[in-house]
Amino acid sequence: MSLPHVLLLHGLGGSGPEHWQTWLAGELAAHGAQVDVPSFTDPDAPELEVWLGELRAHLAAAPTGVERVVAAHSLACLLWLHHAATLTDPALRVDRVLLVGPPSPRYAGEIAIPAQFLDCPLEPDAPRAASADTRLVVGEGDPFCSLEQAKELAGALRLDLDVIVGGAHLNTDAGYGPWGAALKWVRSNRTPLTPR
């Protein structure tokens, strides 16, 4: 079975060397997959239109004739939803998307998330226009998105939802790091996702 082309999208502040996205990129590359790990402009002070332009440039550069997979974390999940809601070019559509640890569009916590990202359209047809299959994964105890908010988000978008018990924000602070289930999902679309 051939491996897909994988686009990994980081959240606010980027993904550090111990993050599951960094680990996943290394594992996929070691198995011969094509992996694109863009570094968005000003990761600590993102602007939606800038990130959207950069995302679409990477999508446009992705090869055709191979399965195309996107795995987004945190703020990049909201970026993807904005992209999906405003997509006009069918050439930018991908096969599968994994949205991991999205902040709730109703987030009002201590860490400043740009309002332009939070003002996110929640149309159920949008994810389907941008991808043949989209899956939402949240961690129990995520400070950016309660389980109630995650269920509301999944319901509004009509997406399958995996809840990782004790997963928090599914980042380095929560021990994600190596995450074999994410690798299995990329390689074989195995669902649901399970803890590391």
Condensed to tens digits (0 to 9), the pLDDT of residues 75-123 reads 999 999 999 999 999 999 999 999 999 999 999 988 999 999 999 999 9
In sign, the C-alpha dihedral spanning 147, 150, 155, 161 is negative
Reply yes or no on whether the pLDDT at 1 is more than 70.
Answer: no
Whether residue 58 lies inside any domain: the answer is yes
Reply yes or no on whether the pLDDT at 5 is more than 60.
Answer: yes
Reply yes or no on whether the pLDDT at 66 is more than 70.
Answer: yes
The reported pLDDT for the residue numbered 191 is: 75
CATH number at residue 74: 3.40.50.1820
Whether residue 43 lies inside any domain: the answer is yes
Condensed to tens digits (0 to 9), the pLDDT of residues 148-195 reads 999 999 999 999 999 999 999 999 999 999 999 999 999 987 778 999
Whether residue 66 lies inside any domain: the answer is yes
User: What is the distance of C-alpha 177 from the center of its chain?
Assistant: 16
Beta carbons within 10 angstroms of residue 2's beta carbon: 8
Overall number of domains in the chain: 1
Condensed to tens digits (0 to 9), the pLDDT of residues 137-150 reads 999 999 999 999 99
Residue 40: give the domain boundaries.
5-188
Whether residue 181 lies inside any domain: the answer is yes
Closest CA to 163 of 196, 187, 134, 136: 136
Angle between helices 20-30 and 180-188 (to 10 degrees): 50
Cα–Cα distance between 174 and 190 in angstroms, integer? 22
Condensed to tens digits (0 to 9), the pLDDT of residues 81-93 reads 999 999 999 999 9
Mean pLDDT of 10-26: 97
Q: How far is CA 148 from CA 14, 104, 117, 141, 142, in A?
A: 26, 10, 20, 11, 11
User: What is the distance of C-alpha 56 from the center of its chain?
Assistant: 14
Do 195 and 165 touch, CB atoms closer than 8 A? yes
Whether residue 118 lies inside any domain: the answer is yes
Whether residue 194 lies inside any domain: the answer is no
Peptide bond into 127 cis (omega under 30): no
Whether residue 196 lies inside any domain: the answer is no
